[in-house]
Chain A
Amino acid sequence: MTNSASDKMTEKTNAAPAQPVSMMAVLAPAVGWLIPGAGHMMQKRWIRGVLLFVSIMTMFLLGLAMQGRIYKANGGDILDILGFIGDFGAGGMYILTLANDWGQGAIAFATADYGTKFMIVAGLLNFIAIADAYHIAIGKKQ
């Protein structure tokens, strides 16, 4: 009991001091949201950035090409709101899609349903990529 308490104290004292938020810690996630993988590329993780860009963009574009439906903010239904949160993660592609009126397919056949899910998952994967870019920026990850 005493040992574990002292271990915790040692852990606390050995923990790295909180660093001030750097410009990169703000910019990398923001740019990474707008362009998938760009948050990694601007931190010179070129290969990772390109792979993330290709993976997320391809998934989103495949979703569009499969006549998937894009969700909007004022969906009303809770499932529509969740779909919007997923789509929103795609950042620049989501904005471009709305601006060009793409992604208006009705989910009337299986392929369109797959497409809708592809776009949502692309957005969710971009959220993970954004978090990773942030962790690199604050030095938590190499």
Chain B
Amino acid sequence: MGKNSEPDVGRRASGVSQNLFVEIGSVTITLNHFSAAAVFALFASIVFGITHRETTRDMVRYGLYCFAMFLGGVLVAGWAMWVLRK
């Protein structure tokens, strides 16, 4: 995770940024597949936990469950594809 110098494909600001909006529009972040999946799992689990359960304890437990299922699914799918490819 970090800033990189991938080719510009969008409308990028040239030179020194003039304001905050240009700065936001010109930031580029690259995540590898697993990092992207982990970030996705984290935030989706937080929202699922808050919205799908009533009590704080249940929210935390359900959020952790969702996070584990997301990441577990990624790992299982990854290994399954590795096996299929062989």
Contact = CB atoms under 8 A, between A and B. Distances in A.
Contact of A105 (B10, B31, B48): B10
Range for the number of chain A residues in contact with chain B: 35 or more
Prevailing SS type, chain B contact patch: helix
A78 B21 CA distance: 31
Given A65-B27, A65-B28, A106 B46 contact: no
Contacts, number: 84
Contacts of B9: 67, 105-106, 108-109, 112
A61 to B, nearest CB: 8
Interface of A: 48, 51-52, 55-56, 58-59, 61-62, 64-67, 100-106, 108-112, 114, 118, 121, 125, 128-129, 131-132, 141-142
Interface of B: 6, 9-11, 21, 24-25, 27-31, 33, 36, 39-40, 42-44, 46-48, 50-51, 54-55
